[in-house]
Amino acid sequence: MKILHFYKTFAADQHGGVEMFIRHLTRATSQQGGENVVLSLSKDVMPTVQMTDYRLVQAKEDFNLASTGFSLSSFKLFSELAESADVIHYHFPWPFMDLVHFASRVKKPTIVTYHSDIVRQRVLKCLYSPLQKMFLNSVDRIVATSPNYLQSSPVLAGYRSKASAIPIGLDESMYPLPEIDQVAKLRAQYGQFFLFVGVLRYYKGLEYLLQAMEGKDWPLLIVGAGPLEQQLIQTALEKKLNSVHFIGQVTEQQKVNLLNACYAVVFPSHLRSEAFGISLLEASMFGKPMICSEIGTGTSFINQHDVSGLVVPPGDALAMRRAMEQIWSSPELAARYGEAARERYLQVFTSRAMGEAYMEVYSETLGR
């Protein structure tokens, strides 16, 4: 079965949630007989690249408006690639993708992974709403990344007859093994520590995490870069949060070492822009207890309250502090949550299970 994926960004050096999802999905489906082609945009003209699990074709991005890339050459490229595909797999949201879909008059089965509602760009959302509705009406199947998101999305409420949920899964073999000596160094340097991993954006709730740390000396490592990095560093300095360490961007190997070494993972995202939470899923894979907020998305599907960790109200620094205190002061509780997190990963969140579910959706849609 030949599958064409279409998303605005995808390259070896891009590690956003959707890119990571596509990487793990193509690995899983290629092992089950799928032939994947990924079409994305690039600021430069790039040659086609054949990887083990997919062929990457990139159209030149002509301009970008409100995080939406546009490319004239992609119309022709998409039509050519769609001609030889059995199934078209779109990754939503990307308004330009909808235009390409209608302009090319696709006659193939179409599937959309609905990664997120449009949350922040309210003006764009109003302008885009009619096209969004036409696009979602026209596709054959819609797949949400968690049952929580399927139930809580106001947009998906109108498409229950053709919508389902397939949780994102990870292939453990795609991660490097922890470096035992480096893990030992991290533990020697920081002792028992909390860990946050992610891009430092407005919806990550890190301001509330810093408030939760006031008056506490628990070591907290914040890993990642982003628009709010300098602002958060300045806040930590002003509040004399000496046990908060900003590590910055790290390699995949360094991230694995940190996940292996940490005591627990804290993920304070407080807005629905955080549609799933790949970092939480990685914490689950590494068997770590977790703390997150209840925002009606995948975060509290991955981390179940009082099973694999604790779930607190969004934007509530005091509740976050109490949850951290509870896990910090009880290694037995932390160990129980960590074991449950690992078990839940094996039962629900493997890439094999995800790949099998998507292959079934592809086959069903193709059969119609």
**3-state secondary structure (DSSP) of residue 63:** strand
**Residue found under tokens 């690249």:** 49
Q: What is the pTM of this model?
A: 0.93
- Residue 46 — pLDDT band, cuts 50, 70, 90? confident
Q: Which residue has the higher pLDDT, 90 or 128?
A: 90
Alpha helices in the chain (DSSP H): 17-30, 73-83, 95-104, 122-138, 147-152, 180-190, 206-213, 229-238, 252-261, 278-285, 299-302, 317-328, 331-348, 351-367
pLDDT digits (tens, 9 = 90+) for 302-324: 999 999 999 999 999 999 999 99
Mean pLDDT of the residues in the chain: 95
Segment 129-153, tens digit of pLDDT: 999 999 999 999 999 999 999 999 9
Please state which CATH number belongs to domain 172-348: 3.40.50.2000
Q: Over range 285-303, report the average pLDDT.
A: 97
Q: What is the mean pLDDT of residues 215-223?
A: 97
Contacts of residue 127, defined as CB under 8 A and 6 or more positions apart, other chains included, come to none
Give which of 284, 330, 290 is closest to 306, Cα–Cα: 290
The answer to whether the 2-170+350-367 and 172-348 domains have the same CATH topology is yes
Q: How confident is the model at residue 128 (pLDDT cuts 50, 70, 90)?
A: confident
**Helix/strand/coil for 20:** helix
Residue 66 has pLDDT above 80, yes or no: no
Residue recorded with tokens 């908060």: 244
CB 140 within 8 A of CB 109: yes
Give 283's contacts (C-beta < 8 A, 6+ positions apart). Answer: 195, 259, 265, 267, 290, 341
CATH of domain 2-170+350-367: 3.40.50.2000
pLDDT for 14 beyond 70: no
| Percent of the chain surpassing pLDDT 70 | 98
Domain ranges for the chain? 2-170+350-367, 172-348
